[in-house]
């Protein structure tokens, strides 16, 4: 009778052990796949960071050369700043551009601008120029800093 219990126990444990090995294999495979995806995501994030940094440098230099308005540069830099893994010092440089972009966000652009009457365009242009003047010193300092932004 004892031998029957041992055989019965063996028959019961053997499928459970096989299932445990199967689950362990599945877990290792899933873990390996997740690590590969994490690595791929990390590499993509670093590439996006580098590309955004280069774009910010170009925009900052264009702003310093007066090839862009401060508002246009601010909108572009504020958007790109979201893609950058920034240090504390870099965040400070981005802040003024984000503030200027927010302060002028109510002003229409592109097709919406073209649909405005000439008098409304003049009024909004004067308002934008006043806002830019208020931020001008801070923007210049930020642009100088961002023109030298580290690329790695």
Confirm if 83 and 48 have CB atoms less than 8 A apart: yes
Tell me the C-alpha distance between 35 and 37, whole Å: 5
What is the residue range of 48's domain?
2-147
Residue 17 lies in a domain: yes
Position 97 in a domain:
yes
Within-domain flag for 58 = yes
Q: From CA 56, how far away is CA 140, in angstroms rounded?
A: 14
Residue 72: name the closest of 100, 106, 113 by CA. 100
Q: Note the helical H segments in the chain.
A: 2-64, 70-81, 88-103, 110-114, 118-147
Pair 73, 60: CB distance under 8 Å: yes
Q: Is residue 67 part of a domain?
A: yes
CA dist list (Å): 90 to 21, 47, 63, 100, 102: 50, 18, 17, 16, 19
* 8 A C-beta contact, residue 46 and residue 115: no
> Half-sphere exposure of residue 75, counting CA atoms within 13 Å on the CB side?
12
Q: What is the pLDDT of residues 58-102, one digit of tens each?
A: 999 999 999 999 999 999 999 999 999 998 989 999 999 999 999
Q: What is the pLDDT of residue 7?
A: 83
> Is residue 152 domain-resident?
no
How many domains does the chain divide into?
A: 1
pLDDT attached to residue 1: 61
Residue 61 belongs to a domain: yes
pLDDT tens string, the chain, 152 residues long: the values are: 677 888 888 888 999 999 999 999 999 999 999 999 999 999 999 999 999 999 999 999 999 999 999 999 999 999 999 999 998 989 999 999 999 999 999 999 989 999 999 999 999 999 999 999 999 999 999 999 999 988 87
Q: Is 80 contained in some domain?
A: yes
């Amino acid at each position: 009778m004892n031998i029957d219990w041992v055989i019965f126990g063996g028959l019961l444990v053997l499928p459970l052990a096989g299932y445990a090995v199967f689950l362990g294999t599945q877990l290792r495979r899933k873990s390996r796949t997740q690590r590969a995806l994490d690595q791929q995501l990390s590499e993509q994030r670093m590439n996006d960071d580098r590309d955004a940094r280069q774009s910010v440098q170009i925009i900052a230099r264009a702003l310093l050369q007066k090839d862009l308005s401060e508002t246009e540069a601010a909108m572009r830099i504020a958007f790109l700043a979201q893609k950058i893994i920034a240090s504390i010092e870099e965040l400070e440089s981005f802040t003024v551009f984000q503030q200027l972009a927010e302060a002028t966000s109510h002003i229409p652009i592109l097709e919406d601008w073209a649909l405005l009457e000439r008098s409304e365009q003049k009024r909004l242009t004067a308002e934008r120029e006043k806002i830019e003047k208020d931020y001008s010193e801070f923007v210049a300092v930020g642009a100088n800093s961002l023109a030298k932004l580290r690329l790695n």
